[in-house]
């Protein structure tokens, strides 16, 4: 038991944080060595099991990232961009695998993560489910097969608490479609439509975001031409799929060299 890789969960009080914590506690392939929350949070100092409403598990919630990362072989991080950038530097110093499910990262944030990846393994994905990553590969292949007579629209739906749009998964799918067409998504992205927008530009990749209720995550990639439509879809009904994927990534990363990876790497789905 003592030589199992030690995992730290950041943002442990959130929905994903609790699910990730429980996934690690239930696993026989790793052990929970730390859980983090922001300074001043009510959970700091409490046993995380008790804080989640269950029995003590022997791991107290802390706000000291430096101390807890020093004990970790991997950090699983579904928090916020500013926090993730800071965690990346600390994980790199500890040579711990950093699994990132945080969305809403800017180009500057990604540059910081790239610098950290020179010293440690970073696995970053806007969505860590097997199904979504297969959908990405299918999207790329269909986009490559169809010309610009087919408009591409990515429609995503999430719960009303989600703060960013388009979702990280929608952007991943947009990148896959753009790659299939051999273009840069930044040059063809069409989102945030409102008012008199004019006709759609040929070749653009559009995004539509729906927010409501407790929707876990639904993503459609629509290829629409005159007289026919093709739709690729993925529906998530349980956040446990993301926790399982993140844990798989944390364990996979133990045998990798420092660098930036994604779930396509983890799942062995890379072309060629």
pLDDT surpassing 60 at residue 1: no
Please tell me the distance from the alpha carbon of residue 130 to that of residue 132, in angstroms, as a whole number: 6
Q: What is the pLDDT of residue 126?
A: 81
Give me the mean pLDDT over the 248-257 stretch.
97
Q: Which of 31, 41, 119, 162 is catalytic?
A: 162
Question: Taking 90 as the threshold, does the pLDDT of residue 103 lie above it?
Answer: no
pLDDT at 2: 57
Q: How many residues does the chain have?
A: 272
pLDDT at 239: 85
Q: What is the pLDDT of residues 114-127, one digit of tens each?
A: 999 999 999 999 88
Report how far residue 254's alpha carbon sits from residue 257's, in angstroms, rounded to the nearest whole number. 9
> Domain boundaries in the chain?
6-124+239-266, 130-236
The percentage of residues in the chain with a pLDDT greater than 70, rounded to a whole number, is 99
Q: What is the pLDDT of residue 271?
A: 66
> Global pTM?
0.81
Of the residues 140, 158, 234, 248, only one is catalytic, namely 158
Angle, nearest 10°, between helix axes 130-145 and 240-252?
90
Instruction: State the chain's mean pLDDT as an integer.
Output: 95
169-207 confidence digits (pLDDT tens): 999 999 999 999 999 999 999 998 889 989 999 999 999
Look at residue 269 and tell me whether its pLDDT is greater than 90: no
Over residues 16-40, the mean pLDDT reads 97
Mark whether 158 is an active-site residue.
Answer: yes
Q: Which residues are bridge partners to 37 per DSSP?
A: none
Residue 54 has pLDDT above 60, yes or no: yes
Whether 112 has a pLDDT exceeding 90, the answer reads: yes
Q: Per-residue pLDDT averaged across 97-109, rounded?
A: 94
Phi and psi torsions of 118, nearest 5° = -70, -15
The CATH number, out of the four listed (3.90.15.10, 3.40.50.720, 3.50.50.60, 3.40.640.10), of the domain defined by the range 6-124+239-266: 3.40.50.720
Max intra-chain CA distance, the chain: 63
Our answer to whether residue 140 is catalytic in this structure is: no
> What CATH number has the domain spanning 130-236?
3.30.360.10
**Top-confidence residue, 130 or 84:** 84
Determine the Cα–Cα distance for residues 73 and 255; give it in Å rounded to an integer: 11
**In this structure, are residues 9 and 71 in contact, taking their beta carbons and an 8 Å threshold?**
no
Confidence of residue 16 (pLDDT cuts 50, 70, 90): very high
């Amino acid at each position: 038991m003592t030589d199992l890789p030690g995992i730290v969960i950041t943002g442990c009080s959130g929905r994903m944080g609790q699910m990730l914590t429980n996934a690690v506690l239930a696993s026989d392939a790793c052990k929970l060595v730390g859980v983090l929350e922001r300074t001043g949070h009510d959970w700091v100092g409490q046993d995380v099991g008790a804080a989640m409403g269950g029995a003590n598990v022997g791991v107290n919630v802390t706000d000291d990232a430096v101390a807890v990362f020093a004990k970790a072989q991997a950090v699983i991080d579904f928090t916020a961009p500013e926090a993730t950038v800071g965690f990346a530097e600390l994980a790199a110093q500890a040579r711990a695998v950093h699994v990132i499910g945080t969305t809403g990262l800017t180009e500057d944030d990604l540059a910081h993560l790239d610098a950290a990846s020179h010293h440690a393994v970073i696995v970053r994905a806007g969505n860590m489910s097997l199904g979504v990553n297969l959908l990405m590969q299918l999207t790329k292949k269909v986009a490559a097969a169809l010309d610009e007579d087919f408009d591409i629209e990515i429609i995503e739906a999430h719960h009303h608490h989600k703060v960013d749009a388009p979702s990280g998964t929608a952007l991943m799918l947009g990148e896959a479609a753009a790659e299939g067409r051999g273009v840069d998504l930044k040059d063809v992205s069409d989102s945030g439509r409102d008012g008199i927008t004019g006709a759609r530009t040929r070749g653009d990749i559009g995004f539509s975001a729906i927010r409501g209720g407790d929707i876990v995550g639904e993503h459609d990639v629509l290829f629409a031409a005159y007289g026919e439509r093709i739709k690729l879809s993925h529906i998530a009904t349980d956040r446990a799929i993301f926790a399982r994927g993140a844990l798989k990534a944390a364990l996979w990363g133990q045998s990798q060299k420092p660098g930036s990876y994604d779930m396509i790497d983890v799942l062995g789905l890379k072309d060629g």
